[in-house]
């Protein structure tokens, strides 16, 4: 809403491109596109004069603020918009504007158009982020790093695999875009109560031609009162911001002072501590993702849309959906900058791995020992050796060599690089899945 956010937060939480696809001028322009497509379709079928359709196509929308009072009165900007547009038209043509449509038809069609544009902006960034992550995954396929499970150092992994884990949900999300566009956001043209009665006997043809002109699909029947498409689009957005939140949270944690395995470009300063570099963008992505996950329920609940049109349920969508779009856009913008500016500190990763007396070898050692003794005995032996290593400061393999004469390949056990299992193949599969996605239209 106007005034709801201080301008100094525009860079942190705002998104110029996404906002431009959804702001007042954009939505009014889309409403006008909807009216023009309707009029053109009706003119093609001889239902209204061709000159009227041409006149509608030449209209210009009013300033959004001019419609505030009418929108507050009517609960939708469309009656005010139609009145303002009719005032621009000569009398005989004014009547053919909005002919047979209801406000919700125009506003929901405009929403579909705006969301398609939002998806285009996001798809482009998603593709770039996917490519950046794929490159990161390949570049660090062999970079050893300690896996942390439940905030405890576990076995070695590669940083490339971490990047591939970040990438994989984005591949799924990108793959769903085509269906989102084809199924979820159709043209809306139901007329007053969803029967298309005022549109006349060729209503379906009008709807189909209008949809074709706008590049939108048609639905079997109007979506005035069934909002599953809005809910599905919202769910896609919030799954995306959640997937970005995972990346960002890992970045915060891997860059924390005590870990220090990642450094961020452009990290923010402190007003009083000259030594600090703060992970601002990563924090923002986490905050945006969590705020989205709370707000999105509004869109699921808005499916409880009473009767043939429910003003409160409909308005609730407008409160939640544009924000979720913008938050997702801002999160994606920050995530892209984060990943592209990531400094991977390979030596620190290695040093951290080695810092724990090589306890990361515990699992591998217990598997290796199990070839020479019962597994339970092997696990008990390793557990005791872990404790001794922690107490004495020796490496786990040194302690184990003293405690057992089982003929293990001690060099391999001490070599974290030998413990990466399928990491490289996994990375290749993730990268290939990303590469197989269709390229976004420019």
| Residue 273 or 441 with smaller CB distance to a second copy | 273
Site for a second copy in 250-279 (CB under 8 A): 250, 252-253, 255-259, 266, 268-279
- Let me know if 86 is a catalytic residue: no
48 Cβ partners below 8 Å, 6+ apart?
39, 42, 96, 99
Site for a second copy in 69-108 (CB under 8 A): 69-80, 82, 86, 91-92, 94-95, 98, 100-103, 106
d(CA 442, CA 438): 12
Q: Do 387 and 349 meet the contact criterion of CB atoms below 8 Å apart?
A: no
Query: Binding to a second copy by residue 51, rule CB under 8 A?
Result: no
Instruction: Select the span of 7-15, 120-128, 209-217, 342-350 touching a second copy (CB under 8 A).
Output: 7-15
| Residue 217 or 442 with smaller CB distance to a second copy | 217
Among 287, 398, 406, 440, binds a second copy (CB under 8 A): 287
Catalytically annotated residue among 270, 387, 403, 429: 270
Please give the DSSP secondary-structure letter assigned to residue 336.
H
| Residue 16 or 350 with smaller CB distance to a second copy | 16
CB-hemisphere CA count at 13 Å for 229? 26
Among 60, 178, 204, 392, binds a second copy (CB under 8 A): 204
d(CA 214, CA 40): 11
15 Cβ partners below 8 Å, 6+ apart?
326, 329, 330, 333
Residue with tokens 């084809």: 182
d(CA 15, CA 13): 7
Query: Binding to a second copy by residue 121, rule CB under 8 A?
Result: no
Number of residues near a second copy (by CB under 8 A): 196
Reduce the DSSP state of residue 158 to 3 states and report it: strand
Catalytically annotated residue among 209, 309, 327, 333: 309
CA 287 to chain centre: 14
Query: Binding to a second copy by residue 35, rule CB under 8 A?
Result: no
Among 49, 169, 217, 341, binds a second copy (CB under 8 A): 169
Among 53, 132, 289, 414, binds a second copy (CB under 8 A): 289
Supply φ then ψ for residue 144, to 5 degrees.
-75, 140
Site for a second copy in 211-230 (CB under 8 A): 219-222, 225-228
Instruction: Select the span of 38-46, 121-129, 209-217, 302-310 touching a second copy (CB under 8 A).
Output: 302-310
d(CA 187, CA 208): 9
Minimum separation from the CB atom of position 54 to a second copy (A): 18
DSSP one-letter string for 205-241:
HHHHHHHHHHT----SS--SS--HHHHHHHHHHHHHH
Query: Binding to a second copy by residue 393, rule CB under 8 A?
Result: no
- Let me know if 345 is a catalytic residue: no
Among 188, 328, 366, 397, binds a second copy (CB under 8 A): 366
Site for a second copy in 324-343 (CB under 8 A): 326-327
Query: Binding to a second copy by residue 27, rule CB under 8 A?
Result: yes
Site for a second copy in 370-389 (CB under 8 A): 370, 374-376, 379-380, 382-383, 386
| Residue 139 or 319 with smaller CB distance to a second copy | 319
Among 42, 109, 143, 157, binds a second copy (CB under 8 A): 157
CA distances from 173 to 130, 297, 317, 349, 399 (A): 11, 20, 22, 30, 48
Query: Binding to a second copy by residue 23, rule CB under 8 A?
Result: yes
Among 173, 211, 332, 342, binds a second copy (CB under 8 A): 173
Query: Binding to a second copy by residue 142, rule CB under 8 A?
Result: no
Query: Binding to a second copy by residue 436, rule CB under 8 A?
Result: no
CA gyration radius, the chain? 29
Query: Binding to a second copy by residue 48, rule CB under 8 A?
Result: no
288 by Cβ neighbours in 10 Å (0-12 / 13-18 / 19+) ranks as buried
d(CA 412, CA 177): 46
d(CA 148, CA 165): 14
**Catalytic sites, residue numbers:** 270, 309
């Amino acid at each position: 809403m106007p005034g709801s956010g201080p301008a100094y937060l525009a860079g942190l939480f705002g998104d110029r491109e996404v906002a431009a696809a959804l702001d007042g001028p954009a939505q009014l322009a889309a409403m006008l596109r909807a009216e023009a497509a309707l009029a053109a379709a009706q003119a093609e079928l001889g239902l209204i004069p061709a000159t009227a359709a041409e006149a509608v196509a030449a209209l210009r929308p009013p300033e959004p603020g001019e419609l505030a009072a009418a929108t507050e009165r009517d609960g939708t900007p469309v009656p005010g918009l139609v009145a303002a547009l009719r005032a621009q038209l000569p009398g005989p043509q004014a009547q053919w504007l909005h002919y047979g449509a209801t406000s919700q038809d125009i506003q929901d069609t405009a929403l579909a158009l705006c969301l398609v544009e939002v998806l285009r902006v996001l798809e482009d960034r998603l593709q770039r982020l996917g490519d950046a992550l794929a490159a990161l995954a390949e570049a660090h396929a062999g970079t050893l790093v300690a896996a942390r499970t439940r905030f405890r150092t576990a076995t070695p992994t590669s940083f490339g695999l971490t990047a591939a884990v970040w990438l994989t949900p984005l591949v799924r999300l990108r793959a769903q875009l085509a269906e989102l566009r084809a199924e979820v956001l159709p043209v809306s043209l139901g007329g007053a109560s969803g029967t298309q009665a005022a549109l006349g006997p060729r209503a379906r043809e009008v709807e189909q031609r209008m949809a074709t002109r706008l590049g939108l699909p048609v639905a079997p029947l109007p979506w005035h009162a069934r909002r599953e498409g809005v809910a599905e689009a919202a769910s896609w957005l919030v799954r995306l911001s959640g997937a970005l939140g995972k990346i960002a949270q890992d970045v915060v944690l891997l860059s924390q002072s005590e870990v220090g395995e990642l450094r961020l470009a452009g990290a923010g300063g402190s007003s009083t501590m000259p030594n600090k570099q703060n992970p601002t963008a990563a924090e923002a992505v986490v905050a945006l993702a969590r705020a989205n996950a709370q707000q999105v329920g509004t869109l699921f609940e808005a499916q409880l849309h009473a009767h043939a049109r429910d003003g409160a349920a409909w308005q609730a969508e407008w409160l939640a959906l544009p924000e979720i779009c913008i938050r997702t856009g801002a999160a994606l913008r920050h995530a892209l900058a984060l990943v592209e500016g990531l400094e991977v500190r390979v030596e620190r990763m290695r040093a951290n791995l080695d810092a724990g007396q090589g306890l990361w070898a515990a699992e591998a050692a217990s598997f290796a020992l199990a070839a020479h003794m019962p597994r339970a005995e092997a696990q008990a032996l390793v557990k005791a050796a872990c404790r001794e290593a922690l107490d004495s400061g020796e490496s786990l393999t040194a302690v184990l060599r003293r405690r057992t004469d089982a003929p293990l390949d001690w060099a391999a056990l001490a070599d974290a690089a030998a413990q990466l299992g399928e990491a490289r193949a996994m990375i290749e599969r993730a990268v290939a899945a990303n590469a197989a996605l269709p390229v976004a239209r420019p």
